[in-house]
Amino acid sequence: MRQPLVAGNWKMNGSRESIKALLDGIKAGIGAVNKAEVAVCAPYVYLADVQQQLNGSNVSWGAQNLSTEASGAFTGEISADMIKDFSCKYVIVGHSERRSLYGETDEIVAHKFEVARNAGLVPILCVGELLEEREKGITEEVVNRQLDAVINRVGIAALADGVIAYEPVWAIGTGKTATPDQAQETHAAIRQKLASMDAGVAEKVQILYGGSMNAGNAAELIGMADIDGGLIGGASLKSDDFLTIGKAAG
């Protein structure tokens, strides 16, 4: 049985002060989340604060990106080992904003997945189609291409060490959520694809939904058979909303 996971992606939001208040709120209410694991993915510069505040709590934490490189002359980059230094469990790879704004190709994303996994981090691999790709009816093709890049690099078995987040790009930060049926259709297709290569991996891998999930729609989405939780942007910045999503996941 897969444990639900509700992970917050704070993106480039917050301050030391606001993050302290947010984490205080999450810690105060986390006892009411029974089944789901709750995690927050913070901006790098706040990881030390997050580690200090969440150490010993039931909340996990992680980063939002990492370098493909281990160390050296890569100004502004952050390596997997640096992220590990702050006891992060998770790192997001291939978020659509990294793909579209920073030119991350499927191959770069696959490389990041590999580097994260080799460092003992759990990569949260984001996949998802643009609006025009959905309208053309090529959602599955796009998601398969994004997954294949990773599978070709690390092998199917390695996928079991990560988490997949299906995030239709048209639903991210737009307030437009995929319907539970739309999301389930793609989640089921992802799981079937994995199952055709390795049934054990397909059974184990958590597939999160991301894209305007909020306190009002989470229960219905996470209630679908192949939706194992959520990757939450905007609603993860308010502790009450975020915890409501955590509770909706069990």
Residue whose CB is less far from ligand PEP, 143 or 156: 143
The verdict on 4 binding ligand PEP (CB under 6 A) reads: no
Q: 25: buried, middle or exposed (CB in 10 Å: 19+, 13-18, 0-12)?
A: middle
The helix/strand/coil state of 199 is: helix
Site string for ligand PEP, 141-180 (x = CB under 6 A): --------------------------x----xx-------
Residue whose CB is less far from ligand PEP, 147 or 231: 231
User: Across 97-140, where does the E strand assignment appear?
Assistant: 122-127
The verdict on 67 binding ligand PEP (CB under 6 A) reads: no
| Rounded CA separation 49/129 (Å) | 34
| Rounded CA separation 98/104 (Å) | 6
Compute how many residues bind ligand PEP; rule: CB under 6 A. Answer: 13
The verdict on 232 binding ligand PEP (CB under 6 A) reads: yes
The verdict on 184 binding ligand PEP (CB under 6 A) reads: no
| Rounded CA separation 33/36 (Å) | 6
C-alpha distances (whole Å) from 212 to each of 98, 144, 156, 179, 216 are 18, 23, 29, 11, 10
* Residue of 213, 227, 248, 249 interacting with ligand PEP (CB under 6 A): 213
Q: Is 95 a catalytic residue?
A: yes
Residue whose CB is less far from ligand PEP, 60 or 156: 60
* Residue of 4, 94, 233, 246 interacting with ligand PEP (CB under 6 A): 233
* Residue of 4, 5, 6, 9 interacting with ligand PEP (CB under 6 A): 9
DSSP annotation of 105 reads -
The verdict on 210 binding ligand PEP (CB under 6 A) reads: yes
Q: Would you say 159 and 150 are in contact if contact means Cβ atoms under 8 Å apart?
A: yes
From 37, 114, 129, 167, the catalytic residue = 167
User: Quick one: which of 89, 29, 99 has its CA closest to 61?
Assistant: 89
Q: Is 104 a catalytic residue?
A: no
Residues found near ligand PEP in the complex (CB under 6 A): 9, 167, 172-173, 210-213, 231-235
